[in-house]
Structure 1
Amino acid sequence: MFVQTAWSNINLQRLNYYSQSYFENMLEEIIKNGKNILYKSKLIYKTKIDKIPIGIQIQAISIDEELSINVFIPNVSPGISIDYTEGKITRLE
Structure 2
Amino acid sequence: MKLDMNALMKQAQQMQEQMLRAQEEAKSEIKEASAGGGMVTVKASGAGELVEIRIDPRAIDPDDPELLADMVLAASNEALRAAAQSVESKLRGQMPDLGSLGLPGV
State the TM-score, normalized to the length of structure 1.
0.26
Greater RCO structure (CA 8 Å; 6+ sep): 2
**Larger helix fraction of residues:** 2
> Greater CA radius of gyration, 1 or 2?
2
